[in-house]
A and B are shown apart, each in its own frame.
Chain A
Amino acid sequence: MFNRRKMLLWGAASAVLPSLCASVPAWADDAVKIGLILPMTGGQASTGKQIDNAIKLYMQQKGDTVAGKKIEIILKDDAAVPDNTKRLAQELIVNDKVNFIAGFGVTPAALAAAPLATQAKIPEVVMAAGTSIITERSPYIVRTSFTLAQSSTIIGDWAVKNGIKKVATLTSDYAPGNDALTFFKQHFTAGGGEIVEEVKVPLANPDFAPFLQRMKDAKPDAMFVFVPAGQGGNFMKQYAERGLDKSGIKVIGPGDVMDDDLLNNMGDAALGAVTAHLYSAVHPSATNKDFVAAYKKAFGNRPGFMAVSGYDGIHLIYEALKKTNGATDGDKLIEAMKGMKWESPRGPISIDPETRDIVQNIYIRKVEKVDGELYNVEFATFEAIKDSGKTKK
Chain B
Amino acid sequence: MASILTNLFDGVAYGMLLFVLACGLAVTLGLMNFVNLAHGAFAMAGGYICAVLVNNSGWPFFAGLPLAFVGSAVIGVALERTLYRHLYARSHLDQVLFSIGLVFMSVAAVDYIMGSSRVFIKLPAALEGQIDLFGVGIGRYRLMIVVICGLLTLALQLILAKTRFGSRLRAAVDDPRAAIGLGINVPQVFAFTFAFGCGLAGLGGALSAEILGLDPYFPLKFMIYFLIVVTVGGSSSITGPFLASLLLGIADVAGKYYVPKVGPFVIYTVMIVILLWRPNGLFGRTAAR
Contact = CB atoms under 8 A, between A and B. Distances in A.
A261 B116 CA distance: 12
Interface residues of B, number: 41
Interface string A17-42: 00000000000000000000000011
Given A209-B14, A234-B213, A46 B117 contact: yes
Given A207-B212, A243-B137, A214 B120 contact: no
A199 B260 contact: yes
A77 B163 CA distance: 54
B14 A217 contact: no
A243 B137 CA distance: 9
Contacts of A202: 263-264
A242 B14 contact: no
A283 B263 CA distance: 40
Contact of A234 (B128, B211, B221): B211
B281 to A, nearest CB: 22
A231 interface: yes
B256 A210 contact: yes
A241 B221 contact: no
Contacts of A216: 3
Interface residues of A, number: 34
Residue among A43, A207, A237, A240 facing the most chain B CB atoms (10 A cut-off): A207
Interface stretch (A262-270, A332-340, A341-349): A262-270
A41 B118 contact: no
B157 interface: no
Contacts of B253: 207, 209-210
Q: Chain B at the A interface: mostly helix, strand, loop or mixed?
A: helix
Given A230-B215, A231-B213, A241 B254 contact: no
A74 B221 CA distance: 32
Given A213-B7, A230-B213, A243-B129, A237 B120 contact: yes
A385 B221 CA distance: 38
Interface in A369-387: none
Nearest to A44: B116
B225 interface: yes
Nearest to A204: B221
B3 A213 contact: yes
A230 B117 contact: yes
Interface string B116-144: 11111010000011100000010111100
B10 A213 contact: yes
Residue among A206, A213, A217, A243 facing the most chain B CB atoms (10 A cut-off): A206
B210 interface: yes
A214 B257 contact: yes
Contact of B257 (A41, A213, A242): A213
A211 B10 CA distance: 11
